[in-house]
Amino acid sequence: MPQLEYSSPSTADDAVRALAAAGGSAKVLAGGTDLLVQLRSGRIRPSVIVDLKRIAGAVGIREEAGAFVIGAATPGAVLGEHAALSKAWPGVVEAANLIGSTQVQGRATLAGNLCNASPAADSVPAMIAAGATCVVVGPKGRREIPVEQVPKGPGETSLAPDEFLLEIRLPPRPPRSADAYLRLIPRTEMDIAVVGAGVSLTLDAEGVITAARVALGAVAPTVILVPEAGAALVGSRLGDQALEKLDAAAKAAARPISDKRGTVDYRTNIAGVLARRAATIAYQRAESRA
């Protein structure tokens, strides 16, 4: 391995300085479950590793006026143990907890899953459906952007080399809202999604859907938000007709590739199936909150 430095700044500003000083050859470290694999295989050769875990607030979850703010270095296991977060956002938490094994859950983060920018990243469809935003820190200060603006293509993000994600924010939840995430994998644990679908929706007192967001994973170069799929649900009680429209919209948005995990046709069909099933689960969850 070439010369490599490890730095663990205690403030966000110091982290930005460390990234800027490396002039593009630094890598941010959160849980390391992607980074270490890439480092050890020689796929990446950074000069500096900037570990976020010592920055105040980087590990942990706080509630702010109904919103949940999740520090960028918070591992999946911590999300699953947080009762209020799990109740408000069951879909985001179930998606995060699908990542890897117990050991991986002890380290893997939402922000790392997002910034690794795999089209099959499990937590990303759930976060996009949830309308999650992230706080990006860089030399010019902070900005807040929707999660879907981070991935640009496989392994590529919209962040500058001297920027990083400080936290992820889940917005305040209206009553009778819920979300769900489903993925298809050939086994029940430890595999990469063939397709993933996240759905988040809100009902009125009569059970009519007033807002819905649908996102799909592993059917395009990045995880995609499918506005037509969300629109197909609004105004319905998730009857057969709405589900059919959702299915068609999800399939129409899917632009997958064929590989050993599935063909284009298979993935396209499954995108419709999973969107319907995830919507059904989210709807039942939302109803049970009435």
**Contacts to another protein by CB under 8 A:** 1, 3-6, 8, 29, 31-33, 36-37, 39-41, 49, 51, 53, 75, 77, 100-104, 106-107, 189-190
Does 133 help bind ligand FAD (rule: CB under 6 A)? no
- Contact residue for ligand FAD among 22, 165, 223, 229 (CB under 6 A): 165
Least Å from the CB of residue 282 to ligand FAD: 20
Does 197 help bind ligand FAD (rule: CB under 6 A)? no
Instruction: Pick the piece of the chain touching ligand FAD (CB under 6 A) from 28-36, 170-178, 257-265, 270-278.
Output: 28-36
Least Å from the CB of residue 61 to another protein: 15
Does 122 help bind ligand FAD (rule: CB under 6 A)? yes
Q: Please state, as a whole number, how many other Cβ atoms lie within 10 Å of the Cβ of residue 189.
A: 8
Strands (E), the chain: 5-7, 26-29, 48-51, 61-64, 67-71, 133-138, 141-146, 151-153, 156-157, 164-170, 177-184, 195-203, 209-217, 224-225
Are the CB atoms for 164 and 219 separated by under 8 Å?
Answer: no
Does 74 help bind ligand FAD (rule: CB under 6 A)? no
Structure tokens at 206: 């009569």
Instruction: Pick the piece of the chain touching ligand FAD (CB under 6 A) from 60-68, 83-91, 97-105, 274-282.
Output: 97-105
Q: Report the side by side order of strands in the sheet with 48-51.
A: 5-7, 48-51, 26-29
Measured at CB, which residue is nearest to ligand FAD?
112
Does 12 help bind ligand FAD (rule: CB under 6 A)? no
- Contact residue for ligand FAD among 18, 35, 216, 232 (CB under 6 A): 35
Does 164 help bind ligand FAD (rule: CB under 6 A)? yes
Could you tell me which of 117, 99, 118, 116 has the C-alpha nearest to residue 108? 99
Q: Alpha-carbon distance 286 to 175, whole Å?
A: 8
Could you tell me which of 194, 46, 198 has the C-alpha nearest to residue 110? 198
Q: Alpha-carbon distance 167 to 68, whole Å?
A: 10
Residue span 237-276 as binding mask against ligand FAD, x where in contact by CB under 6 A, dash where not: ----------------------------------------
> SS3 of 220, please?
coil
How far is CA 82 from each of CA 50, 60, 87, rounded to the nearest angstrom? 27, 10, 9
The site for ligand FAD (CB under 6 A) is made up of 27-35, 37, 52, 72, 98-101, 104, 107-109, 111-113, 115-116, 121-122, 159, 164-165, 190
